[in-house]
Amino acid sequence: MRNIRRNPDIIWREEEEAREEALRAMERGGDASGDGTVLLVVSGMMHQLNLLGGEIWKLLDGIDEERLVDTLAMTFDVDRDTLSRDVRDFLIDLDRRGWLVHE
Amino acid sequence: MSRIPFSPITINWTLTFRCNFNCRHCYSRPEKAPELPTEQVKEIMAKVAKYKVPFINYGGGEPLLRSDLFELTEYATGLGFNVSMNTNGFLLTQEKAALAKKSGFKTVGISIDSTRPEVHDDFRNTKGSHKKAVNAAKFLKKQGVRLTISSVICRINHTELEDLVRQARDLGAEQISLHNYKCAGMGFTNKDELDLTPEEWKEFYLSAIALRENATDIRISMDDPITATIHKAPDQAIVKGSTCGKLSLNIRANGDVTPCGFIPVVIGNLLTDDLKDLWDNSNILEKMRNKKPKEKCLTCKHYEDCLGGCTARAYATTGDFNSPDPHCWVAK
Ligand code: SF4
Ligand code: SF4
């Protein structure tokens, strides 16, 4: 399986305060998908990723998809199939935007 | 609106108010402040780096007048910043372009306001400045530095948009930044002569947005909240309205912090104050982030996206952040 990395031209930063809040909301069983926990600047445009997207993004430093899902399963309490599907959809979206590099 | 990021994304930094030019629109000519020595600028850079601010952009005054410019840039790059600058290009020789590359500049923006040299030179009050700016752009390209062209839109050039974009593309720029005319400093003194009417702004932005949608080989950037009335911001827009004080802050030559270069209200000084403390607790920033509609904005259907337009222009002309943007073309 191929390893996946973030496109190195993309400038990004974790929004620690937003992430902590989203994690707390998730623990309480609330909606954690609102505020961006990772901000990216791509060709002068800003984008934000929600909690799951942000956690995936941070792990993309040369990881294969299976290991990625394993790691996320430690934080996100959802069944494996749903998680795998969400991760796959998200990676397809990132790839389509040109934000990934495959090794 | 989404939440404000935990610290600024961009710091616009006036390292010096000195300039070799005397442009007719310049916000900073009347500004005077002692300049910090190299070590104190570095001290502030290190404090700012603690809060993971990703971008520093040197504005003007003319950054190339600082003899320590490349030393500072190398230091800032080492701290993890993505450094860029705006320059009039007059002093940007082949040798300086090589130093720009070596010191780590990610992008350099050259100001060119017309494709007609005599118009640019007259606006910038300096003969030969168009030619030098074009040469500077070529030197940067040769060194492999990413290039942006900045044009201040006003009476002299608002009808030559396509030519401006073509010129920037021919010079190999990745982006052309169309800066809206600001009524600050000399821009305020000369506004009757140089600023456009609200109707002319509308016409200009309609053409610029149409051009942007079809431009594939160059980015056309226009950071003007008033365009929310004719063009819905992308869904992922992080904040609405003016971005000053929400995504960016401005540092002056003496370390003073203002919400933006065009709003001369000092909220602290980074030699003594903590960036995060100012970002989280400044009353001025709080007011800019939570504007209240006033006058015609009260009944305007665009308020949610526009938030009264450019706060700097409103403040410069009325002294009130909440006043409607004087460039607004929406009828009362
Ligand atoms: S606009 Fe720039 S180049 Fe012109 S006088 Fe002001 S700082 Fe100098
Ligand atoms: S009236 Fe106010 S909210 Fe409406 S477009 Fe004009 S400045 Fe923006």
Q: At what angle do helices A80-97 and A65-73 cross, to 10 degrees?
A: 130
Identify which of A35, A39, A43 has the shortest CB distance to residue B9: A39
Q: Are residues B113 and B158 in contact, defined by beta-carbon separation less than 8 angstroms?
A: no
Residue A15's domain spans which residues?
Answer: 7-98
CB contact under 8 A, B236 and A48: yes
Q: What angle do CA A77, A80, A82 make, to 5 degrees?
A: 90
What is the predicted pLDDT for the residue at A29? 80
Identify the residue with better confidence: B33 or B162: B162
What is the predicted pLDDT for the residue at B308? 96
Average pLDDT (B120-132) is: 95
What is the predicted pLDDT for the residue at B164? 98
Question: What element of type H or E holds B147?
Answer: strand B146-153
What is the predicted pLDDT for the residue at B183? 79
Question: Which pairing describes strands B82-87 and B55-58: parallel, antiparallel, or unpaired?
Answer: parallel
Can you say how many angstroms the Cα of residue B235 is from the centroid of all Cα atoms in its chain? 23
What is the predicted pLDDT for the residue at B1? 41
Give me the amino acid identity at B213: E
B145 pLDDT band, cuts 50/70/90, is: very high
DSSP 8-state secondary structure symbol assigned to residue B105:
-
Average pLDDT (B192-210) is: 94
What is the predicted pLDDT for the residue at B30? 76
Q: Are residues A91 and A72 in contact, defined by beta-carbon separation less than 8 angstroms?
A: no
Question: What element of type H or E holds B57?
Answer: strand B55-58
Please indicate if any CB of chain A lies within 8 Å of the CB of B3.
Answer: yes
Query: Looking at the predicted structure, is the pLDDT value of residue B82 above 90?
Result: yes
What is the predicted pLDDT for the residue at B91? 98
Cα separation, B45 vs B50, whole angstroms: 9
Instruction: Give me the sign of the Cα torsion angle B261, B290, B7, B102.
Output: negative
- The dihedrals phi and psi of A6, each to the nearest 5 degrees, come to -70, 145
Instruction: List the end-to-end C-alpha distance of chain B, in Å, as a whole number.
Output: 25
Average pLDDT (B154-159) is: 96
* Portion of chain B with pLDDT greater than 70, in percent: 98
Q: How far is B291 from chain A (nearest CA, A)?
A: 21
Which range (B169-183, B187-201, B229-243, B307-321) has the least confidence? B229-243
A1 pLDDT band, cuts 50/70/90, is: low
Cβ neighbors of B53 (< 8 A, separation 6 or more) are B7, B8, B9, B10, B11, B81, B275
Domain-located, residue A103: no
Cβ pairs A/B, distance under 8 A: 38
Q: Are residues B265 and B258 in contact, defined by beta-carbon separation less than 8 angstroms?
A: yes
CB contact under 8 A, A15 and B55: no
Mutate to test the interface with A, among B51, B55, B238, B247 (most CBs of A within 10 A): B238
Sequence length of chain A is 103
Cα separation, A7 vs B314, whole angstroms: 40
Does the pTM exceed 0.90?
yes
CB contact under 8 A, A39 and B219: no
Closest CA to B31 of B319, B253, B193, B194: B253
Domain-located, residue A2: no
Q: What angle do CA A91, A95, A96 make, to 5 degrees?
A: 120
Cα separation, B161 vs B163, whole angstroms: 5
Cα separation, B285 vs A67, whole angstroms: 43
Cα-Cα-Cα-Cα dihedral of B250, B20, B153, B4, to 10°? -10
Q: What is the pLDDT of residues B105-114, one digit of tens each?
A: 999 999 999 9
Average pLDDT (B326-332) is: 90
Q: What is the pLDDT of residues B281-321, one digit of tens each?
A: 999 999 999 999 999 999 999 999 999 999 999 999 999 99
Average pLDDT (B142-169) is: 97
Question: Which pairing describes strands A4-6 and A100-102: parallel, antiparallel, or unpaired?
Answer: antiparallel
**Residues of chain A positioned with their CB less than 8 A from the CB of B238:** 36, 39, 46, 48
Cα separation, B245 vs B250, whole angstroms: 9
Closest ligand to B26 CA? Answer: 1
Report the nearest-CA residue for atom 2 of ligand 1: B60
* ipTM summary value: 0.90
Total number of domains in chain A: 1
Q: What is the pLDDT of residues B22-37, one digit of tens each?
A: 888 887 777 778 999 9
Mutate to test the pocket of ligand 1, among B13, B62, B85, B113 (most ligand atoms within 8 A of CB): B62
Identify which of B5, B82, B219 has the shortest CB distance to residue A39: B5
Q: What is the pLDDT of residues A39-81, one digit of tens each?
A: 999 988 899 999 999 999 999 999 999 999 999 999 998 999 9
Average pLDDT (B267-275) is: 98
Domain-located, residue A43: yes
| CA distance readout (Å), B149 to A17, B124, B196, B219 | 36, 15, 21, 10
